[in-house]
Amino acid sequence: MTGKPRVWVSRPTFPEIIARLDEHFAVTSEPQEVRFSPAELAARLADQDAAIVGLKEHIGAAEIAGATRLRIVANLGVGYDNLDVAALTAAGVAVSNTADVLNESVADYAWAMLLGAARRIGAAERWLRAGHWHATEFTGWLGMDVRGRTLGILGMGRIGQAIARRAVGFGMDVIYHNRSPLPASLEHACQARYVDKPQLLAASDFLVLVLPLTAQSRHAIGAPELAQMKPTAVLVNVARGGIVDDAALAAALASGGLAAAALDVFEREPQVHPALLALDNVLLSPHIASASHATRRAMTALAVDNVLALFGHGPHAGRPPTILNPTVLVAAGAVPHP
Ligand code: 8YV
């Protein structure tokens, strides 16, 4: 095939940013959000040289089997549990994510959810809109204070650290658990202390989940873990559905085992467990933690930069800035061994 290499963009994004590809590529952008079947994905990818995809595109060996020209899959997200990186690497396909550009927006949003759940903002707004506000009850709508409480963070990557830094303003004691402790300088910057997972569960007044979804982290918070938490605690998940067992969480929230939760992500998105929908002590949102004007644009620009760079264009030519499997570059002779 002659002509420009082809890029498929699986969802509507920001046309003026995608247009940066036009000089070097023939670009096809999907005009609306579609949930593609594996066969449809395989058909879309078959004649592409690059793809910019979102979290609903699950891509592994089967989806790229016929995509012999494909050189990069650029994910519009820092999490990449939708991509089988091992299979893509084995096929010589580069994979990139949108690390770092969304840290601060997601940290802001985690705090919005934490405060919203603590002060029952979602339920109070529903009640007001339903026309129930006839008198201001002095003892009504009581919520929890955050000042001086213990903030627990499970997963202390750069988003977890950004969440911890904000806790200083709330005078909180910050503890965290991670695969390994942070270097002392980072712990100091975050004013955070490493604890083991049982200690984290037992001591947190507010527990925020910011870890990636992997085979090991699936149901990291299930019935046994929820039983170790304080009945007064609040759970916040801005990471991935599947880290929490949604049915077990709903049971804990309904029985008084846990005071409240705030969830931006769910096991079967876009479906939400009906038992969660029936509860007033859980604040729910449709996976929007990174959805600020600036950050969604920055994520799109970073995906574009990765594609341009892989094909030798732009300021990062030859070195896609957030590539997850750089060995494919070495294998393809694109960059010398480090
Ligand atoms: C999504 C996210 O990418 O970055 C991630 O891992 O979960 C989000 O930023 C975003 O919701 C687009 O689907």
Kindly list the strands in the beta sheet with 150-154, ordered across the sheet, starting from the edge strand earlier in the chain.
Answer: 192-194, 173-177, 150-154, 206-209, 234-237, 260-263, 282-284
Give the model's pLDDT for residue 153.
Answer: 98
Confidence check: pLDDT of 214 > 50: yes
Answer yes or no: is the C-beta of 212 below 6 A from any ligand 1 atom. Answer: no
Domain definitions of the chain by residue range = 6-101+293-332, 103-284
pLDDT tens-digit readout, 252-298 = 999 999 999 999 999 999 999 999 999 999 999 999 999 999 999 99
Instruction: Enter the pTM of the model.
Output: 0.96
CA distances from 228 to 87, 203, 221, 257 (A): 38, 9, 10, 9
Report whether the peptide linkage leading into residue 274 is cis, meaning its omega lies within 30 degrees of zero.
no
Q: Is 271 helix (H, G, I), strand (E, B) or coil?
A: strand
Are 58 and 65 contacting, i.e. CB atoms less than 8 angstroms apart?
no
Confidence check: pLDDT of 247 > 90: yes
Hey, which residues are catalytic here? 240, 269, 287
| Ramachandran angles phi, psi of 243, nearest 5° | -70, -35
Confidence check: pLDDT of 198 > 90: yes
Cα of 75 vs centre of ligand 1, distance in Å, is: 9
Domain 6-101+293-332: state its class: alpha beta
- Atom 6 of ligand 1, residue of closest alpha carbon: 79
- Atom 4 of ligand 1, residue of closest alpha carbon: 77
Answer yes or no: is the C-beta of 92 below 6 A from any ligand 1 atom. Answer: no
Q: What is the overall mean pLDDT for the chain? A: 96
Strand 234-237 vs strand 6-9: parallel, antiparallel, or unpaired?
unpaired
CA distances from 277 to 20, 47, 239, 267, 307 (A): 42, 42, 19, 14, 40
pLDDT tens-digit readout, 298-320 = 999 999 999 999 999 999 999 99
Q: Which CATH architecture has domain 103-284?
A: 3-Layer(aba) Sandwich (3.40)
Probe residue for ligand 1, chosen from 34, 55, 263 as the CB with the greatest number of ligand atoms within 8 Å: 55
Give the model's pLDDT for residue 337.
Answer: 44
Cα of 80 vs centre of ligand 1, distance in Å, is: 9
Answer yes or no: is the C-beta of 300 below 6 A from any ligand 1 atom. Answer: no
Answer yes or no: is the C-beta of 54 below 6 A from any ligand 1 atom. Answer: yes
